Chains A and B, each alone.
Chain A
Amino acid sequence: MKSGGSQVLPHLPEAAANAPIVKSAQKRIVGARVRAVKSQVLLLLPAVAVFVLFLGLPMLTVLNESFRTFEPGRIGSVEGAPLTIENYAELFLPVYMRYFSQTYFLAFCASLIAVLIAFPIAYFIARYASSTMRKAAMTLLIGLTFLSALVRVYALQLAFGSVGIFAPIMSALGVNMNGSLYINCVIVVGLLHYSIPMSILILIGAVQQLNPRLTEAAQSLGASALSSHLTVTIPLCIRGLVSAFLVSMTLGISAFIIPWILGRGRVMFISNLIYSRFSEITNYPSGAAISIVMMALSLLLIFIMSRLFTLLDRT
């Protein structure tokens, strides 16, 4: 709308612009433009109001809280408590660093595995599946996201937990089901429950947008099935691959129930740490600081990924 209005005006010749009729026309155009801008503002107003009131303000109180001094025994910081950066400084202690590295590392592993598993499935659904099969697959994938997190987590626990039905097999194979490696693996599997269906849904779109002739062209030129996918399909799906990875990362690092139950107290994610700060030891300032750092790290991650993406994307 805006660009449309500004395009109309310069087209009016200088001399003609002085004529009264044209002037009134010009006024009408300007009036229409002002009205258009007004209606655009009106359209955005409810969303802006909701964001400011329910997202912006609460986040500002969290930011404020994170710089307050905490007195043990209290619930949250006291009114007018002195400002401090102690809440942030203590996060550099190795014990805190471990929470962060654990969370980001496991989420990273799960996202990578999810994208690697999801891509061939998405490719198959988008390219070769009949329309009935595609519909069935989509229904199943979307249906999966409705399944409660608790149900999935306890299902995994029942199957692969230390008293699960696979426990005899695992111990026969010599797997230590109480070892932290095993627990980490089970958590990654739990994260995959979310990230695989989500990645498939995202990648189906990416593959559908790709012209199937391109892969055929590559093969007719002598590239094998594998190298035609490596040199043509993957580079042209990079946008979808990056977004599937980012969405999986987001789901992974914000996971709460999965590490809470499957981690059996041995592995905790940042979300669990934040929860315990707020509700178990009521150290609100520390919880707030961790939340802020987590948000900053996530923004940094998105920034790095999008830079990486611009480097990789050549289309």
Chain B
Amino acid sequence: MSVLNLKDITKKYGELAAVDGISLDMERGKVLSLLGPSGCGKTTTLRIIAGFTSPDTGTVEIAGKDVGHLRPYERNVGLLFQDYALFPHMTVAENVAYGMRHRGTPTSEITTRVLRMLSLVQLTGMEARRPHQLSGGQQQRVALARALAIDPQILLLDEPLSALDAKLRLELRLELKEILRSVGATTIVVTHDQEEALTLGDEVVVMNAGKIAQRGTPTQIYEAPADKFVAEFVGRSNWFHASKRSQSTDGLTSYVADDGLEIRTRASRPDSEGGVDLCVRPEDIELVDGTAPESAPSPEHNVLAGVVLDVAPLGADVHVVIELPGKSRLLAIRKNVGRGSEILPGQSVRALFSASDVLVFQR
């Protein structure tokens, strides 16, 4: 049974539709990431579910009941704010107990539950501290414990990790995932950070301009993006614009890109007025020495010759930027395998990528 069901939600601010006809349903115990750039309507959607914003049209159902007329405190929805919004005048224990106290939980039960929540988020012994005495990561965990303490039907996390620094964010991301899984909380994570969305979510909903662009598992979103926006927003990508298709043989379609490069692909779309956009993920590109005799591993492979413009070793990966004859640039990401395989700027290379790795989008 679906815990949450949104039907045709629309919310306009003046002329601008922040949320434009969104329908969404969620199963119990799942984690759903709501991913999109700022201003795409993801936070508005969250506030509509929590009851802080009322939609212009559409219905919100929680556990099969229409909650449209219920105030935020009459719904059973946990909310974790971006800035945590811990009560500065209360101790950690009082913060966690706040929700239960206002929901009529017996005092004896509150005490034990506060302790259980704090041990869940690994803050045992911090009961008497004030929020300002805690680090950013600890504050985030208190906020999570506070939201979980009321045993919400749905837990909403608004950019839960964005206020933390990069290293802490990585640690807490995994910790957050474990906690959510162990509690089995039905969760919606709103984020603009794709890594966060792909790691935390069982499913990812990509939003653009108030609409749902695609819903799918993290793998589906990355490997089979529904449109150009999703492909561009999730992961890195190289783009070619082609206005004409040259030929199709053996299930392969060749396109001539605007800068004259010929690119073959397995995927094919019907021709359209504006031509097509071709996309290649940087990690699908293999680089070989440009001076070696040309030999494509298979007829399926595209081979583009170019000159290395820049090499950036970023830990496990090396980002290589290649300039192609038509002055367009190509980003290739290769594993940092160590000495002997360095590529230097100025070197001429050939970029190889399979036709089945080329995604085609209609304009």
Partner of A227 from the list B50, B51, B88, B102 (CB cut-off 8 Å) is B102
What does DSSP make chain A's interface, helix, strand, loop or mixed?
Answer: helix
Q: Which of A48-56, A142-150, A210-218, A254-262 contacts B (4 or more CB under 8 A)?
A: A210-218
Interface residue count for A (Cβ, 8 Å)?
22
Question: Which of A221, A227, A232, A236 has the largest count of B CB atoms less than 10 A from its CB?
Answer: A221
* Interface membership of A291, Cβ < 8 A: no
Which residues 184-243 of A sit at the B interface, judged by CB distance below 8 A? 211, 213-214, 216-225, 227-228, 231-232, 235-236
* Interface membership of B89, Cβ < 8 A: yes
The 10 closest A-B pairs by CB, nearest first: A221-B99, A213-B85, A217-B85, A220-B79, A314-B89, A223-B102, A222-B102, A219-B72, A222-B103, A219-B73
A residues engaging B (CB < 8 A)? 211, 213-214, 216-225, 227-228, 231-232, 235-236, 313-315
Interface residue count for B (Cβ, 8 Å)?
24
Instruction: Assess the A219–B150 pair: CB atoms within 8 A.
Output: no
Report the Cα distance A225→B51, complex, angstroms: 13
Question: Which of B71, B77, B102 has the largest count of A CB atoms less than 10 A from its CB?
Answer: B102
22 CB contacts below 8 A, A to B, read A213-B85, A214-B85, A214-B87, A216-B72, A216-B81, A217-B86, A218-B87, A219-B73, A220-B147, A221-B78, A221-B102, A221-B147, A222-B150, A224-B71, A225-B73, A227-B102, A235-B89, A236-B87, A236-B88, A314-B90, A315-B88, A315-B89
A contact residues around B103 at 8 Å (CB): 222
In the assembled complex, the CB of B94 is this many whole angstroms from the nearest CB of chain A, namely: 10
In the assembled complex, the CB of B62 is this many whole angstroms from the nearest CB of chain A, namely: 13
In the assembled complex, the CB of A281 is this many whole angstroms from the nearest CB of chain B, namely: 53
In the assembled complex, the CB of B350 is this many whole angstroms from the nearest CB of chain A, namely: 54
* Interface membership of B83, Cβ < 8 A: yes
Partner of B146 from the list A211, A221, A224, A228 (CB cut-off 8 Å) is A221
B residues engaging A (CB < 8 A)? 50-52, 71-73, 77-79, 81, 83, 85-90, 98-99, 102-103, 146-147, 150
What does DSSP make chain B's interface, helix, strand, loop or mixed?
Answer: loop
Given contacts A220-B78, A222-B102, contact A232 B72 (CB under 8 A): no
Instruction: Assess the B98–A219 pair: CB atoms within 8 A.
Output: no
Q: Name which residue of chain A comes closest to B132, CB basis.
A: A315
Instruction: Assess the A236–B89 pair: CB atoms within 8 A.
Output: yes
Q: Name which residue of chain A comes closest to B90, CB basis.
A: A314
B contact residues around A315 at 8 Å (CB): 88-89
In the assembled complex, the CB of B191 is this many whole angstroms from the nearest CB of chain A, namely: 17
Instruction: Assess the A224–B73 pair: CB atoms within 8 A.
Output: yes
B contact residues around A235 at 8 Å (CB): 89
A contact residues around B102 at 8 Å (CB): 218, 221-224, 227
Instruction: Assess the A221–B98 pair: CB atoms within 8 A.
Output: yes
B contact residues around A221 at 8 Å (CB): 73, 78, 98-99, 102, 146-147, 150
A contact residues around B52 at 8 Å (CB): 216, 219-220
